[in-house]
Structure 1
Protein backbone atom coordinates (compact mmCIF):
# COMPACT_ATOMS: atom_id res chain seq x y z
CA UNK A 1 0.00 0.00 0.00
CA UNK A 2 1.41 3.37 -1.01
CA UNK A 3 1.63 5.61 2.06
CA UNK A 4 1.92 8.76 0.00
CA UNK A 5 -1.21 9.99 -1.77
CA UNK A 6 -0.66 10.13 -5.52
CA UNK A 7 -0.73 13.59 -7.08
CA UNK A 8 0.26 12.62 -10.60
CA UNK A 9 -1.41 10.72 -13.40
CA UNK A 10 -0.34 10.80 -17.02
CA UNK A 11 -3.93 10.19 -18.07
CA UNK A 12 -5.32 13.10 -16.03
CA UNK A 13 -2.64 15.56 -17.16
CA UNK A 14 -3.01 14.50 -20.79
CA UNK A 15 -6.77 15.03 -20.67
CA UNK A 16 -6.27 18.44 -19.05
CA UNK A 17 -3.80 19.47 -21.76
CA UNK A 18 -6.18 18.36 -24.52
CA UNK A 19 -9.13 20.12 -22.88
CA UNK A 20 -7.18 23.36 -22.51
CA UNK A 21 -6.03 23.31 -26.13
CA UNK A 22 -9.49 22.46 -27.52
CA UNK A 23 -11.40 25.00 -25.40
CA UNK A 24 -8.88 27.76 -26.06
CA UNK A 25 -9.25 27.12 -29.78
CA UNK A 26 -13.02 27.49 -29.40
CA UNK A 27 -12.34 30.84 -27.71
CA UNK A 28 -14.70 33.37 -26.15
CA UNK A 29 -18.13 33.83 -27.69
CA UNK A 30 -20.97 36.19 -26.87
CA UNK A 31 -24.59 35.17 -27.06
CA UNK A 32 -26.98 38.10 -27.37
CA UNK A 33 -30.39 37.65 -25.74
CA UNK A 34 -31.87 41.09 -26.29
CA UNK A 35 -32.02 41.99 -22.58
CA UNK A 36 -28.35 41.20 -22.15
CA UNK A 37 -25.38 39.19 -23.33
CA UNK A 38 -24.05 35.88 -22.08
CA UNK A 39 -20.30 35.55 -22.47
CA UNK A 40 -19.20 31.96 -22.99
CA UNK A 41 -15.65 31.33 -21.80
CA UNK A 42 -13.32 28.39 -22.52
CA UNK A 43 -13.64 27.48 -18.82
CA UNK A 44 -17.34 26.70 -19.37
CA UNK A 45 -16.61 24.41 -22.31
CA UNK A 46 -13.94 22.63 -20.27
CA UNK A 47 -16.40 22.16 -17.41
CA UNK A 48 -19.08 20.66 -19.65
CA UNK A 49 -16.69 18.36 -21.51
CA UNK A 50 -15.01 17.33 -18.25
CA UNK A 51 -18.39 16.56 -16.68
CA UNK A 52 -19.29 14.30 -19.60
CA UNK A 53 -15.93 12.53 -19.42
CA UNK A 54 -16.40 11.82 -15.71
CA UNK A 55 -19.74 10.01 -16.14
CA UNK A 56 -19.09 6.57 -14.56
CA UNK A 57 -20.91 4.63 -17.31
CA UNK A 58 -18.47 5.94 -19.94
CA UNK A 59 -15.51 4.50 -17.96
CA UNK A 60 -13.16 7.19 -19.25
CA UNK A 61 -11.91 8.17 -15.80
CA UNK A 62 -11.65 5.95 -12.74
CA UNK A 63 -12.55 7.07 -9.22
CA UNK A 64 -8.85 7.19 -8.27
CA UNK A 65 -8.11 9.54 -11.17
CA UNK A 66 -11.00 11.79 -10.13
CA UNK A 67 -9.54 11.98 -6.62
CA UNK A 68 -6.17 12.97 -8.10
CA UNK A 69 -7.93 15.70 -10.09
CA UNK A 70 -9.58 17.00 -6.91
CA UNK A 71 -6.19 17.17 -5.17
CA UNK A 72 -4.64 19.02 -8.10
CA UNK A 73 -7.51 21.53 -8.08
CA UNK A 74 -6.39 22.89 -4.71
CA UNK A 75 -2.85 23.47 -5.98
CA UNK A 76 -4.14 25.11 -9.16
CA UNK A 77 -6.30 27.48 -7.13
CA UNK A 78 -3.25 28.49 -5.07
CA UNK A 79 -1.41 29.36 -8.28
CA UNK A 80 -4.40 31.37 -9.43
CA UNK A 81 -4.41 33.35 -6.16
CA UNK A 82 -0.67 33.94 -6.50
CA UNK A 83 -1.24 35.42 -9.96
CA UNK A 84 -3.94 37.71 -8.55
CA UNK A 85 -1.50 38.77 -5.85
CA UNK A 86 1.05 39.93 -8.42
CA UNK A 87 -1.66 41.99 -10.11
CA UNK A 88 -2.88 43.46 -6.83
CA UNK A 89 0.54 44.65 -5.66
CA UNK A 90 0.79 47.76 -7.88
CA UNK A 91 -2.84 48.66 -7.09
CA UNK A 92 -2.74 48.27 -3.29
CA UNK A 93 -3.32 51.96 -2.60
CA UNK A 94 -6.44 51.94 -4.77
CA UNK A 95 -7.70 48.88 -2.91
CA UNK A 96 -7.05 50.52 0.46
CA UNK A 97 -9.13 53.54 -0.62
CA UNK A 98 -12.05 51.17 -1.23
CA UNK A 99 -11.42 49.08 1.87
CA UNK A 100 -14.74 49.67 3.66
CA UNK A 101 -16.96 48.92 0.63
CA UNK A 102 -14.96 45.77 0.01
CA UNK A 103 -15.57 44.65 3.58
CA UNK A 104 -19.24 45.65 3.67
CA UNK A 105 -20.07 43.53 0.63
CA UNK A 106 -19.95 40.54 2.98
CA UNK A 107 -23.37 41.68 4.19
CA UNK A 108 -24.68 40.27 0.91
CA UNK A 109 -24.09 36.76 2.21
CA UNK A 110 -26.52 37.33 5.05
CA UNK A 111 -29.11 39.39 3.17
CA UNK A 112 -29.08 37.32 0.00
CA UNK A 113 -28.50 33.67 0.78
CA UNK A 114 -30.06 33.55 4.25
CA UNK A 115 -32.83 36.15 4.49
CA UNK A 116 -34.13 35.45 0.97
CA UNK A 117 -32.92 31.93 0.30
CA UNK A 118 -33.90 30.14 3.52
CA UNK A 119 -37.65 30.94 3.44
CA UNK A 120 -37.84 29.93 -0.23
CA UNK A 121 -36.00 26.66 0.50
CA UNK A 122 -38.50 25.84 3.26
CA UNK A 123 -41.48 26.73 1.10
CA UNK A 124 -40.40 24.34 -1.66
CA UNK A 125 -40.08 21.49 0.83
CA UNK A 126 -36.41 21.36 1.85
CA UNK A 127 -35.67 20.25 5.41
CA UNK A 128 -32.25 20.53 7.07
CA UNK A 129 -30.73 20.56 3.58
CA UNK A 130 -31.85 24.20 3.57
CA UNK A 131 -29.23 25.04 6.20
CA UNK A 132 -26.34 23.86 4.05
CA UNK A 133 -27.89 25.29 0.90
CA UNK A 134 -28.50 28.84 2.14
CA UNK A 135 -25.90 29.76 4.76
CA UNK A 136 -23.50 30.87 1.96
CA UNK A 137 -22.96 30.53 -1.79
CA UNK A 138 -21.37 27.14 -1.00
CA UNK A 139 -17.94 27.18 -2.54
CA UNK A 140 -14.95 25.09 -1.43
CA UNK A 141 -14.31 26.74 2.00
CA UNK A 142 -18.02 26.60 2.82
CA UNK A 143 -18.21 22.92 1.92
CA UNK A 144 -15.31 22.30 4.29
CA UNK A 145 -17.16 24.11 7.10
CA UNK A 146 -20.33 22.04 6.60
CA UNK A 147 -18.37 18.79 6.33
CA UNK A 148 -16.50 19.54 9.55
CA UNK A 149 -19.64 20.44 11.53
CA UNK A 150 -22.24 18.04 10.13
CA UNK A 151 -20.23 15.61 7.89
CA UNK A 152 -20.51 15.45 4.12
CA UNK A 153 -23.10 12.63 4.31
CA UNK A 154 -25.54 14.69 6.38
CA UNK A 155 -28.64 16.47 5.13
CA UNK A 156 -26.80 19.78 5.54
CA UNK A 157 -23.91 18.39 3.51
CA UNK A 158 -26.22 17.31 0.68
CA UNK A 159 -27.78 20.77 0.60
CA UNK A 160 -24.40 22.48 0.41
CA UNK A 161 -23.11 20.11 -2.27
CA UNK A 162 -26.24 20.57 -4.36
CA UNK A 163 -25.81 24.35 -4.41
CA UNK A 164 -22.09 23.92 -5.14
CA UNK A 165 -22.83 21.82 -8.22
CA UNK A 166 -25.56 24.20 -9.45
CA UNK A 167 -23.24 27.16 -8.90
CA UNK A 168 -20.48 25.48 -10.85
CA UNK A 169 -22.73 24.61 -13.79
CA UNK A 170 -24.99 27.65 -13.97
CA UNK A 171 -23.44 30.32 -11.75
CA UNK A 172 -21.04 31.70 -14.34
CA UNK A 173 -23.73 31.84 -17.02
CA UNK A 174 -26.26 33.49 -14.74
CA UNK A 175 -23.83 36.12 -13.43
CA UNK A 176 -22.51 36.84 -16.90
CA UNK A 177 -26.03 37.67 -18.11
CA UNK A 178 -26.90 39.60 -14.93
CA UNK A 179 -23.70 41.65 -15.16
CA UNK A 180 -24.40 42.52 -18.79
CA UNK A 181 -27.91 43.72 -17.95
CA UNK A 182 -26.86 45.78 -14.91
CA UNK A 183 -23.83 47.30 -16.66
CA UNK A 184 -25.98 48.49 -19.55
CA UNK A 185 -28.31 50.28 -17.12
CA UNK A 186 -25.34 52.56 -16.39
CA UNK A 187 -26.34 53.19 -12.75
CA UNK A 188 -23.24 51.65 -11.09
CA UNK A 189 -19.58 52.49 -11.51
CA UNK A 190 -17.59 49.75 -13.29
CA UNK A 191 -15.39 49.30 -10.21
CA UNK A 192 -18.47 48.79 -8.03
CA UNK A 193 -19.54 46.01 -10.35
CA UNK A 194 -15.99 44.63 -10.27
CA UNK A 195 -16.09 44.49 -6.46
CA UNK A 196 -19.45 42.75 -6.69
CA UNK A 197 -17.78 40.05 -8.78
CA UNK A 198 -15.87 38.87 -5.72
CA UNK A 199 -18.45 36.44 -4.36
CA UNK A 200 -15.88 33.84 -3.32
CA UNK A 201 -15.94 31.79 -6.52
CA UNK A 202 -13.13 31.84 -9.05
CA UNK A 203 -15.33 30.79 -11.97
CA UNK A 204 -18.10 33.26 -11.17
CA UNK A 205 -15.60 36.06 -10.63
CA UNK A 206 -13.97 35.27 -13.98
CA UNK A 207 -17.36 35.32 -15.73
CA UNK A 208 -18.29 38.72 -14.29
CA UNK A 209 -14.82 40.15 -14.86
CA UNK A 210 -14.76 38.94 -18.46
CA UNK A 211 -18.14 40.53 -19.15
CA UNK A 212 -17.09 43.84 -17.57
CA UNK A 213 -13.80 43.89 -19.47
CA UNK A 214 -15.74 43.39 -22.71
CA UNK A 215 -18.00 46.35 -21.86
CA UNK A 216 -15.25 48.57 -20.36
CA UNK A 217 -12.04 47.57 -22.21
CA UNK A 218 -10.25 50.79 -21.19
CA UNK A 219 -10.47 49.75 -17.50
CA UNK A 220 -9.60 46.09 -17.96
CA UNK A 221 -6.59 45.98 -15.61
CA UNK A 222 -8.30 47.93 -12.80
CA UNK A 223 -11.44 45.81 -13.07
CA UNK A 224 -9.36 42.61 -12.79
CA UNK A 225 -7.55 43.96 -9.72
CA UNK A 226 -10.69 45.02 -7.89
CA UNK A 227 -12.61 41.84 -8.67
CA UNK A 228 -9.64 39.72 -7.65
CA UNK A 229 -9.14 41.69 -4.45
CA UNK A 230 -12.81 41.46 -3.56
CA UNK A 231 -12.81 37.73 -4.24
CA UNK A 232 -9.74 37.19 -2.09
CA UNK A 233 -11.19 39.21 0.80
CA UNK A 234 -14.49 37.36 0.50
CA UNK A 235 -12.72 34.02 0.59
CA UNK A 236 -10.65 34.91 3.66
CA UNK A 237 -13.06 37.05 5.65
CA UNK A 238 -16.12 35.18 4.46
CA UNK A 239 -14.85 31.94 6.01
CA UNK A 240 -14.88 33.46 9.49
CA UNK A 241 -18.22 35.17 8.89
CA UNK A 242 -19.73 31.85 7.83
CA UNK A 243 -18.38 30.05 10.91
CA UNK A 244 -19.31 32.64 13.55
CA UNK A 245 -22.31 34.47 12.01
CA UNK A 246 -23.91 32.97 8.90
CA UNK A 247 -24.12 29.31 9.91
CA UNK A 248 -25.38 29.90 13.49
CA UNK A 249 -27.86 32.49 12.19
CA UNK A 250 -29.13 30.11 9.50
CA UNK A 251 -29.66 27.29 11.99
CA UNK A 252 -31.42 29.67 14.40
CA UNK A 253 -33.74 30.98 11.68
CA UNK A 254 -34.37 27.42 10.45
CA UNK A 255 -35.62 26.37 13.89
CA UNK A 256 -37.90 29.43 14.00
CA UNK A 257 -39.20 29.35 10.43
CA UNK A 258 -39.51 25.63 9.77
CA UNK A 259 -42.62 25.19 11.97
CA UNK A 260 -44.24 28.07 10.06
CA UNK A 261 -43.07 27.55 6.48
CA UNK A 262 -42.00 23.91 6.37
CA UNK A 263 -44.28 21.59 4.37
CA UNK A 264 -43.89 18.71 6.79
CA UNK A 265 -45.05 20.77 9.75
CA UNK A 266 -48.02 22.13 7.79
CA UNK A 267 -49.10 18.60 6.86
CA UNK A 268 -48.77 17.46 10.48
CA UNK A 269 -50.97 20.37 11.63
CA UNK A 270 -53.61 19.51 9.00
CA UNK A 271 -53.62 15.84 10.09
CA UNK A 272 -54.07 16.85 13.73
CA UNK A 273 -57.05 19.09 12.86
CA UNK A 274 -58.72 16.38 10.79
Structure 2
Protein backbone atom coordinates (compact mmCIF):
# COMPACT_ATOMS: atom_id res chain seq x y z
CA UNK A 1 0.00 0.00 0.00
CA UNK A 2 2.94 2.32 0.70
CA UNK A 3 3.96 2.19 -2.95
CA UNK A 4 0.71 3.97 -3.85
CA UNK A 5 2.04 7.03 -1.98
CA UNK A 6 4.84 7.46 -4.52
CA UNK A 7 5.47 11.23 -4.40
CA UNK A 8 6.97 11.36 -7.90
CA UNK A 9 3.80 10.10 -9.59
CA UNK A 10 1.50 12.39 -7.63
CA UNK A 11 3.80 15.37 -8.33
CA UNK A 12 3.69 14.70 -12.06
CA UNK A 13 -0.10 14.37 -11.98
CA UNK A 14 -0.42 17.67 -10.12
CA UNK A 15 1.86 19.49 -12.58
CA UNK A 16 0.10 18.03 -15.63
CA UNK A 17 -3.33 18.99 -14.29
CA UNK A 18 -2.15 22.54 -13.57
CA UNK A 19 -0.68 22.92 -17.06
CA UNK A 20 -3.78 21.49 -18.74
CA UNK A 21 -6.17 23.69 -16.76
CA UNK A 22 -4.01 26.74 -17.41
CA UNK A 23 -4.25 26.18 -21.17
CA UNK A 24 -8.02 25.72 -20.83
CA UNK A 25 -10.56 24.99 -23.54
CA UNK A 26 -9.57 26.13 -27.03
CA UNK A 27 -11.79 26.09 -30.11
CA UNK A 28 -11.09 26.35 -33.80
CA UNK A 29 -13.77 27.52 -36.23
CA UNK A 30 -13.62 25.56 -39.49
CA UNK A 31 -16.57 27.15 -41.28
CA UNK A 32 -19.08 24.30 -41.08
CA UNK A 33 -18.57 24.03 -37.35
CA UNK A 34 -16.02 24.24 -34.57
CA UNK A 35 -13.36 21.89 -33.20
CA UNK A 36 -12.90 22.06 -29.43
CA UNK A 37 -9.76 21.05 -27.51
CA UNK A 38 -10.12 20.26 -23.81
CA UNK A 39 -7.68 20.08 -20.86
CA UNK A 40 -8.03 16.30 -20.70
CA UNK A 41 -6.49 16.09 -24.16
CA UNK A 42 -3.44 18.14 -23.14
CA UNK A 43 -2.94 16.09 -19.97
CA UNK A 44 -3.13 12.83 -21.90
CA UNK A 45 -0.61 13.93 -24.53
CA UNK A 46 1.83 15.30 -21.94
CA UNK A 47 1.48 12.14 -19.87
CA UNK A 48 2.22 10.00 -22.92
CA UNK A 49 5.35 12.04 -23.64
CA UNK A 50 6.86 11.78 -20.15
CA UNK A 51 6.17 8.02 -20.06
CA UNK A 52 8.16 7.30 -23.24
CA UNK A 53 10.90 4.79 -22.32
CA UNK A 54 13.60 6.71 -24.20
CA UNK A 55 13.26 9.69 -21.83
CA UNK A 56 13.67 7.48 -18.72
CA UNK A 57 11.51 9.85 -16.67
CA UNK A 58 9.29 7.08 -15.28
CA UNK A 59 10.37 3.51 -14.66
CA UNK A 60 8.30 0.44 -15.47
CA UNK A 61 7.68 -0.04 -11.76
CA UNK A 62 6.39 3.52 -11.39
CA UNK A 63 4.07 3.10 -14.38
CA UNK A 64 2.76 -0.12 -12.83
CA UNK A 65 2.07 1.79 -9.61
CA UNK A 66 0.30 4.49 -11.64
CA UNK A 67 -2.01 1.86 -13.17
CA UNK A 68 -2.98 0.73 -9.66
CA UNK A 69 -3.69 4.32 -8.62
CA UNK A 70 -5.83 4.67 -11.75
CA UNK A 71 -8.04 1.82 -10.59
CA UNK A 72 -8.56 3.49 -7.21
CA UNK A 73 -9.36 6.78 -8.93
CA UNK A 74 -12.08 5.07 -10.97
CA UNK A 75 -13.67 3.76 -7.77
CA UNK A 76 -13.71 7.26 -6.28
CA UNK A 77 -15.27 8.62 -9.45
CA UNK A 78 -18.06 6.04 -9.36
CA UNK A 79 -18.68 6.83 -5.68
CA UNK A 80 -19.07 10.49 -6.61
CA UNK A 81 -21.38 9.50 -9.46
CA UNK A 82 -23.50 7.56 -6.99
CA UNK A 83 -24.05 10.68 -4.88
CA UNK A 84 -25.52 12.39 -7.94
CA UNK A 85 -28.03 9.69 -8.73
CA UNK A 86 -30.61 10.41 -6.02
CA UNK A 87 -31.00 14.16 -6.69
CA UNK A 88 -31.01 13.49 -10.45
CA UNK A 89 -33.97 11.08 -10.45
CA UNK A 90 -36.62 13.83 -10.99
CA UNK A 91 -34.58 15.22 -13.89
CA UNK A 92 -34.32 11.76 -15.42
CA UNK A 93 -38.08 11.25 -15.14
CA UNK A 94 -38.77 14.67 -16.68
CA UNK A 95 -36.51 13.88 -19.62
CA UNK A 96 -38.92 11.19 -20.72
CA UNK A 97 -38.70 7.94 -22.65
CA UNK A 98 -37.23 9.47 -25.80
CA UNK A 99 -33.95 10.36 -24.17
CA UNK A 100 -33.75 7.03 -22.40
CA UNK A 101 -34.13 5.13 -25.68
CA UNK A 102 -30.87 6.58 -26.92
CA UNK A 103 -29.18 3.76 -24.99
CA UNK A 104 -30.42 1.45 -27.76
CA UNK A 105 -28.17 3.30 -30.20
CA UNK A 106 -25.16 2.94 -27.94
CA UNK A 107 -25.86 -0.77 -27.60
CA UNK A 108 -26.14 -1.30 -31.36
CA UNK A 109 -23.14 0.82 -32.25
CA UNK A 110 -20.62 -0.55 -29.78
CA UNK A 111 -21.60 -4.19 -29.32
CA UNK A 112 -23.51 -5.43 -32.39
CA UNK A 113 -21.31 -3.59 -34.89
CA UNK A 114 -18.10 -3.08 -32.93
CA UNK A 115 -17.47 -6.56 -31.52
CA UNK A 116 -17.40 -8.43 -34.87
CA UNK A 117 -15.02 -5.84 -36.31
CA UNK A 118 -12.74 -6.12 -33.28
CA UNK A 119 -12.62 -9.89 -33.64
CA UNK A 120 -11.94 -9.70 -37.37
CA UNK A 121 -8.90 -7.48 -36.84
CA UNK A 122 -7.47 -9.98 -34.37
CA UNK A 123 -8.48 -8.74 -30.91
CA UNK A 124 -9.19 -11.36 -28.23
CA UNK A 125 -10.51 -10.63 -24.74
CA UNK A 126 -9.56 -6.99 -25.32
CA UNK A 127 -12.57 -6.81 -27.64
CA UNK A 128 -14.93 -7.18 -24.68
CA UNK A 129 -13.62 -4.12 -22.88
CA UNK A 130 -13.34 -2.18 -26.12
CA UNK A 131 -16.89 -2.72 -27.35
CA UNK A 132 -19.26 -3.20 -24.41
CA UNK A 133 -19.68 0.61 -24.16
CA UNK A 134 -18.13 3.86 -25.36
CA UNK A 135 -15.61 3.39 -22.52
CA UNK A 136 -15.68 6.55 -20.50
CA UNK A 137 -14.76 6.79 -16.82
CA UNK A 138 -17.67 4.81 -15.28
CA UNK A 139 -17.24 2.05 -17.86
CA UNK A 140 -13.52 1.81 -17.12
CA UNK A 141 -14.36 1.46 -13.44
CA UNK A 142 -16.74 -1.41 -14.20
CA UNK A 143 -14.08 -3.27 -16.18
CA UNK A 144 -11.33 -2.61 -13.63
CA UNK A 145 -13.53 -3.87 -10.81
CA UNK A 146 -14.63 -7.04 -12.61
CA UNK A 147 -11.44 -8.06 -14.43
CA UNK A 148 -8.63 -6.02 -12.86
CA UNK A 149 -6.67 -3.04 -14.17
CA UNK A 150 -4.03 -5.25 -15.86
CA UNK A 151 -6.47 -7.58 -17.62
CA UNK A 152 -6.91 -7.84 -21.42
CA UNK A 153 -10.44 -6.48 -21.00
CA UNK A 154 -9.08 -3.44 -19.20
CA UNK A 155 -6.45 -2.86 -21.88
CA UNK A 156 -9.17 -2.87 -24.53
CA UNK A 157 -11.32 -0.43 -22.57
CA UNK A 158 -8.43 1.95 -21.84
CA UNK A 159 -7.38 1.84 -25.50
CA UNK A 160 -10.82 3.03 -26.58
CA UNK A 161 -10.84 5.58 -23.76
CA UNK A 162 -7.55 7.05 -24.98
CA UNK A 163 -8.73 7.12 -28.59
CA UNK A 164 -11.95 8.80 -27.46
CA UNK A 165 -10.01 11.42 -25.55
CA UNK A 166 -7.56 12.09 -28.37
CA UNK A 167 -9.94 11.97 -31.30
CA UNK A 168 -13.48 11.80 -29.88
CA UNK A 169 -14.14 15.51 -29.44
CA UNK A 170 -12.54 16.30 -32.80
CA UNK A 171 -14.44 13.57 -34.62
CA UNK A 172 -17.82 14.29 -33.03
CA UNK A 173 -17.62 18.04 -33.52
CA UNK A 174 -16.96 17.51 -37.22
CA UNK A 175 -19.66 14.84 -37.43
CA UNK A 176 -22.21 17.07 -35.70
CA UNK A 177 -21.35 19.96 -38.02
CA UNK A 178 -21.69 17.84 -41.15
CA UNK A 179 -24.98 16.20 -40.13
CA UNK A 180 -26.45 19.52 -39.01
CA UNK A 181 -25.47 21.11 -42.33
CA UNK A 182 -27.49 18.49 -44.23
CA UNK A 183 -30.69 19.79 -42.66
CA UNK A 184 -32.40 16.43 -42.17
CA UNK A 185 -32.61 16.55 -38.36
CA UNK A 186 -34.11 18.96 -35.86
CA UNK A 187 -31.53 20.75 -33.66
CA UNK A 188 -33.03 19.17 -30.52
CA UNK A 189 -32.64 15.69 -31.99
CA UNK A 190 -29.00 16.41 -32.68
CA UNK A 191 -28.63 17.79 -29.15
CA UNK A 192 -29.97 14.56 -27.69
CA UNK A 193 -27.49 12.64 -29.79
CA UNK A 194 -24.70 14.73 -28.30
CA UNK A 195 -25.25 13.14 -24.88
CA UNK A 196 -22.95 10.18 -25.38
CA UNK A 197 -21.79 10.02 -21.75
CA UNK A 198 -18.64 12.12 -22.13
CA UNK A 199 -18.52 15.71 -20.97
CA UNK A 200 -15.80 16.73 -23.42
CA UNK A 201 -17.47 15.04 -26.39
CA UNK A 202 -20.85 16.52 -25.48
CA UNK A 203 -19.34 19.99 -25.17
CA UNK A 204 -17.62 19.63 -28.55
CA UNK A 205 -20.87 18.61 -30.25
CA UNK A 206 -23.04 21.23 -28.56
CA UNK A 207 -20.50 23.92 -29.39
CA UNK A 208 -20.58 22.95 -33.05
CA UNK A 209 -24.39 22.79 -33.07
CA UNK A 210 -24.71 26.16 -31.33
CA UNK A 211 -22.69 27.77 -34.12
CA UNK A 212 -25.00 26.35 -36.79
CA UNK A 213 -28.23 26.91 -34.82
CA UNK A 214 -27.56 30.02 -32.70
CA UNK A 215 -31.30 30.62 -32.17
CA UNK A 216 -31.61 27.23 -30.41
CA UNK A 217 -28.34 27.30 -28.47
CA UNK A 218 -30.02 27.31 -25.04
CA UNK A 219 -32.30 24.37 -25.88
CA UNK A 220 -29.37 22.49 -27.38
CA UNK A 221 -27.42 22.84 -24.13
CA UNK A 222 -30.39 21.75 -21.99
CA UNK A 223 -31.28 18.64 -23.98
CA UNK A 224 -27.67 17.63 -24.53
CA UNK A 225 -27.04 17.92 -20.79
CA UNK A 226 -30.12 15.82 -19.96
CA UNK A 227 -29.13 13.18 -22.51
CA UNK A 228 -25.59 13.08 -21.18
CA UNK A 229 -26.85 12.70 -17.63
CA UNK A 230 -29.11 9.82 -18.60
CA UNK A 231 -26.33 8.10 -20.51
CA UNK A 232 -23.91 8.47 -17.60
CA UNK A 233 -26.27 7.27 -14.87
CA UNK A 234 -28.68 4.92 -16.62
CA UNK A 235 -25.95 3.73 -18.96
CA UNK A 236 -23.83 2.63 -15.99
CA UNK A 237 -26.58 0.29 -14.79
CA UNK A 238 -27.26 -0.89 -18.35
CA UNK A 239 -23.59 -1.75 -18.81
CA UNK A 240 -23.45 -3.77 -15.58
CA UNK A 241 -26.77 -5.59 -15.95
CA UNK A 242 -27.00 -6.04 -19.72
CA UNK A 243 -24.20 -4.74 -21.97
CA UNK A 244 -21.23 -6.47 -20.38
CA UNK A 245 -22.95 -9.88 -19.96
CA UNK A 246 -24.31 -9.68 -23.51
CA UNK A 247 -20.88 -8.77 -24.88
CA UNK A 248 -19.40 -11.78 -23.12
CA UNK A 249 -22.18 -13.96 -24.56
CA UNK A 250 -21.54 -12.72 -28.10
CA UNK A 251 -17.79 -13.08 -27.68
CA UNK A 252 -18.19 -16.69 -26.61
CA UNK A 253 -20.14 -17.51 -29.77
CA UNK A 254 -18.47 -15.21 -32.31
CA UNK A 255 -14.80 -15.59 -31.37
CA UNK A 256 -14.52 -19.22 -32.56
CA UNK A 257 -15.88 -18.10 -35.95
CA UNK A 258 -14.54 -14.61 -36.57
CA UNK A 259 -11.40 -15.11 -34.51
CA UNK A 260 -10.51 -18.18 -36.56
CA UNK A 261 -11.09 -16.18 -39.75
CA UNK A 262 -8.69 -13.46 -38.62
CA UNK A 263 -6.09 -16.10 -37.74
CA UNK A 264 -6.42 -17.69 -41.18
CA UNK A 265 -5.99 -14.29 -42.87
CA UNK A 266 -2.88 -13.57 -40.76
CA UNK A 267 -1.35 -16.98 -41.55
CA UNK A 268 -2.05 -16.44 -45.25
CA UNK A 269 -0.23 -13.10 -45.23
CA UNK A 270 2.78 -14.69 -43.54
Counterpart pick for 1:149 among 146, 150, 158: 146
Q: What is the match of residue 20 of structure 2?
A: 19
Counterpart pick for 1:168 among 160, 165, 170: 165
Consecutive unaligned residues of structure 1, counting only runs of 5 or more, are none
Question: Deviation per CA, 1:176-224, whole angstroms, max 9, x where unpaired?
Answer: 1110111111111111111111111111111111111221222222211
Counterpart pick for 2:57 among 51, 56, 59: 59
Q: What is the match of residue 233 of structure 2?
A: 236
Counterpart pick for 2:128 among 117, 127, 131: 131
Structure 2 SS opposite 1:28? strand
Counterpart pick for 2:117 among 113, 116, 120: 120
Structure 1 SS opposite 2:247? helix
Instruction: Work out the CA distance in 1 between the residues paired with 2:104 and 2:187.
Output: 20
Counterpart pick for 1:41 among 37, 57, 68: 37
Flag the structure with more relative contact order, 1 or 2, with Cα contacts below 8 A and sequence separation at least 6: 2
Deviates more, 1:258-267 or 1:121-130: 258-267
Question: Deviation per CA, 1:144-201, whole angstroms, max 9, x where unpaired?
Answer: 1112222122211111111111111111111111101111111111111111111111
Q: By how many angstroms is 1:42 displaced?
A: 4.5
Q: 1:212 to 1:6 in 2, by over 3 A?
A: farther
Q: By how many angstroms is 1:227 displaced?
A: 1.1
Structure 2 SS opposite 1:262? helix
Structure 1 SS opposite 2:176? helix
Contact 1:176 1:208 in 2 (8 A): yes
Instruction: Work out the CA distance in 2 between the residues paired with 1:121 and 1:4.
Output: 34
Q: By how many angstroms is 1:45 displaced?
A: 6.0
What root-mean-square deviation, in Å, do the aligned CA atoms of Structure 1 and Structure 2 show?
4.0
Instruction: Work out the CA distance in 1 between the residues paired with 2:38 and 2:134.
Output: 23
Q: By how many angstroms is 1:23 displaced?
A: 4.1
Question: Deviation per CA, 1:98-122, whole angstroms, max 9, x where unpaired?
Answer: 4111110011122110110011111
Q: By how many angstroms is 1:264 displaced?
A: 6.5
TM-score, normalised relative to structure 2: 0.77
Consecutive unaligned residues of structure 2, counting only runs of 5 or more, are none
Q: What is the match of residue 31 of structure 1?
A: 30
Q: By how many angstroms is 1:53 displaced?
A: 5.5
Contact 1:190 1:212 in 2 (8 A): yes
Structure 2 SS opposite 1:153? coil
Question: Deviation per CA, 1:32-81, whole angstroms, max 9, x where unpaired?
Answer: 5xxx5451334476346534554352739x8689959x959x67x969x9
Contact 1:125 1:263 in 2 (8 A): no
Structure 2 SS opposite 1:59? coil
Structure 2 SS opposite 1:234? helix
Structure 2 SS opposite 1:29? strand
